[in-house]
Chain A
């Protein structure tokens, strides 16, 4: 016998664990995001009402999908009395199979993957892809997404509405990409996950603690992709998951107790999350042996070398420089060049790194990027070229926007400024 409390707890548990699966399948069966969302809420309302009376069904997910579909078709039929064109839609939906195999567990997992690929369709604008994925796949509310991206709920709501409108009007299908399209389509999905992770990761401290949740959501999405994509595992999906885990492992050490930024070489490595590092490193291995890896795997491999080093000085810098060389060939970018220059400075000394950074800045590529100037300042400081260090810290400070980064730069600027007694 099920008590009403047990039944209510069961509905809550299924909602938390499975509402996104149920939604994904309803979108496939009903062919419309809004209709499916309404149907899902109707189905859960029906569960709240019926499960205490009838008991918890053997397969709650299938029950919810079936109830949601029935409610949606019933709703369209009732509206069809006023709008004849809806009658045909209800007939078409009803003609869809009633076969429970249509919503067995495997089909449900496929539907979740379909949902991810639809939300991340390259025909949608990137901000729409991100908002829709967080809303539909992760189940965040519009308010939560707005808070995470430091924007207003109306902006997020508008992005979601526009994306859904385009899906409907342009005929974006609720479909897995064909084999031939998979690489390009997966790249868009991985980019969305990466954007979500970075948004959470770059806001690590102080005023916006809620944004940390975005990194958690991104890792969940990354895991989901690795789990759901057809075998063999896609190396870059594995690589991205590894990259996120290895970065996330250092989160606690990136900020001091006072919320100040702590750079990699000064972090207390005992505060790194060993379990995440082990998982990330194992995934990097898995992606590397596939020999079909790309930029995410290479970045993860670099993060793994850092994560497994006992200290900054004992890091295998030649290997890191080597990995950056490969990364530059796969995906040339001035930011990768800058990171490589910092690694060269560790391997061959600050003067060698400074020459590379000056060459990048000389091309004008990163002249508005605060980290290029702070990296230059740091090498000048280590070389004792105080005036140049000061100038570069000032440039960096003029460009940096986040409060902890600014405080960090101000501290360093103070160090290179005050040390001459009596001088100014």
Chain B
């Protein structure tokens, strides 16, 4: 099954990390990504620019409405994702638990809807 692992971090906490710590954190991410490529779990994964760069688009009555960022004042913001292939939810949880941000933020694991069943 495919799962999307949505990574939520406190952006301020990550942005204000001392350089040594932040380098080590990035290093952990590279090692993790290599690891799940080797184990065959990896399908895709990206980090996102901070939430201030976000734009929300809505179309109402045929008119495009564009606003700055998501408004919700939450402590943790969506900061990146991995799309993984896992045997089942237990397998996916094991992978998600190794994402470095799981230790300081949280990871939401969502199964992908498979529209064309074999």
Contact = CB atoms under 8 A, between A and B. Distances in A.
A177 B91 CA distance: 11
Contact of A173 (B3, B90, B109, B118): B90
Contact of B89 (A85, A88, A123, A181): A123
B21 interface: no
B111 interface: yes
Interface string A159-185: 000000000011111010100010000
Interface in B77-118: 86-90, 92-93, 109, 111, 117-118
A177 B86 CA distance: 16
A169 B117 contact: no
Interface string A67-79: 0000000000000
A169 B89 CA distance: 10
B111 A173 contact: no
B51 interface: no
A176 to B, nearest CB: 10
28 contacts: A85-B117, A85-B118, A88-B118, A121-B89, A123-B89, A123-B93, A169-B111, A170-B89, A170-B109, A170-B111, A171-B1, A171-B3, A171-B86, A171-B88, A171-B89, A171-B92, A171-B111, A172-B88, A172-B89, A172-B90, A173-B87, A173-B88, A173-B89, A173-B90, A175-B88, A175-B90, A177-B90, A181-B90
Q: Would you list the 4 A-B pairs with minimal beta carbon distance, nearest first? A: A173-B88, A171-B88, A171-B1, A171-B89
A410 B88 CA distance: 55
A91 to B, nearest CB: 11
SS class, residues of chain A in contact with chain B: loop
A interface, size bucket: 10 to 19
Nearest to B93: A123
Nearest to A168: B111
Interface centre among A85, A171, A172, A173 (most CB of B within 10 A): A171
A265 B93 CA distance: 48
Interface centre among B1, B88, B109 (most CB of A within 10 A): B88
A175 B89 CA distance: 11
Contacts of A123: 89, 93
Nearest to A85: B117
A132 to B, nearest CB: 15
Contacts of A175: 88, 90
Nearest to B86: A171
A166 to B, nearest CB: 9
Nearest to A180: B94
A123 B1 CA distance: 16
Contacts of B93: 123
Given A85-B117, A171-B89, A172-B90, 12 more contacts: A85-B118, A121-B89, A170-B111, A171-B1, A171-B86, A171-B88, A171-B111, A172-B88, A172-B89, A173-B90, A175-B90, A177-B90
Contacts of A181: 90
Contacts of B118: 85, 88
B110 to A, nearest CB: 8
Contacts of A177: 90
B88 to A, nearest CB: 4
Interface string A109-122: 00000000000010
Interface string A85-96: 100100000000
Nearest to A175: B90
B78 to A, nearest CB: 20
A169 B92 CA distance: 13
Interface centre among B1, B3, B89, B93 (most CB of A within 10 A): B89
